[in-house]
Chain A
Amino acid sequence: MIKFILITIFFYFLTLFQTSFLVHFAVFGRTLNFVAFAVILWNIFERKENSRGFYVAGMAGLFLDIFSTGFIGANFATLIIVSALIKFLLKRYVKIPFFEES
């Protein structure tokens, strides 16, 4: 339970950091989405049997939705689908001995 609370707090502050600090560092006029990047990394490096990545994607998406202007649910759904896709691809097609052992 504590882990879930910590994840929520971490992604809340990461979203604030993204929308108020990192937006100043645009590359070719575009801002990189570090929150989405963190979700992707989390899902890639998470153990196969673990499904905490979905919670991470959901919370990150929800905070991105709240601090953006579109309808609530767009980033939420996108990140959940991306997480599911990463998990599916890793389970079906990718075998990394290092992660298998750990």
Chain B
Amino acid sequence: MLNTKHKNRNKIIFVILAILIITFSNFVQKQIREFFYFISSPIQKPLWRAGDRASDFLWSFFNTKNLKQEKERLENENQNLIFKISALQEIKKENETLRQALGIKLQENFNLEISQIINKDVSAGFILIDKGLLSGISKDMPIITGQNVLIGKISQVYDNFSEVMLVSNHKSVFDAKISSPDNDVTGIIRGQGSYSYALYDLIPRGTEISTGETIITSGLGGFLPKGLIIGKIKEVRKSDVDPFQQAKVELFFNISSADNIFVIKSLK
């Protein structure tokens, strides 16, 4: 009888202590996380690189059958891109001549800070990078890959680390448009929780969109510069009832293949 009472008292003390510790740790969560990130980053960096290599190896091992088809598809895509590049180079020359004639300066260069991913939140779409307040990083700065592919934006800054909310996160919403000179359809990109796909939403019903078209940032939201690549349309969803159409977008950003990423600190 006494033993049961003693056990129950211990359980109550344990619960009260746990609640107190958890409540208190939320007041100093920034300091607690900063401390753990600091002592763990020497272990996390090599672990991240090892995981990256191992997943690449496994991917190539399981996809050997599809490599031939993939090679043919890439060769076709490469030829198309070469054709497009030559056309764009002509337009670029023409554009530069016009800019010079009108006296307009080009403003699309970024002030970048190179960084590395060291950790990823398992449940939500967040990653941790190894640059923070001391490197001049602040909240809402966009993160891109070396190929100008948008990864996300800074959601929390510590002294030496920053949390990045990925494009795929449920809470991530920003303006985007189709990257085509003939098609100026704007909408918004909503994260869906999956690392591969997002939703291109609020596209007016009357506009024509098709699969394979590339989606880029429109620059209307404020914090994102325009022209950052997001993904390509995989599937268009139309309904007679809804005033807007939607599209499933395959994201170009692959978390496993991004070794170095860049924080856009400002436009030059």
Contact = CB atoms under 8 A, between A and B. Distances in A.
A72 B124 contact: no
Nearest to B127: A23
B16 to A, nearest CB: 14
Contacts of A33: 122-123
Interface in B31-74: 32-33, 36, 40, 43-44, 47-48, 50-52, 54-55, 58
Interface residues of B, number: 38
Given A33-B123, A68-B126, A73-B22, A22 B44 contact: no
B196 interface: yes
Contact of B26 (A28, A31, A67, A71): A71
Interface string A54-71: 100010000010111111
Nearest to A29: B194
Given A20-B51, A73-B22, A29 B122 contact: no
Interface size class for chain A?
A: 20 to 34
A19 B122 contact: yes
Given A20-B118, A67-B121, A29 B52 contact: no
A88 interface: no
A76 B122 contact: no
A33 B255 CA distance: 17
B55 A68 contact: no
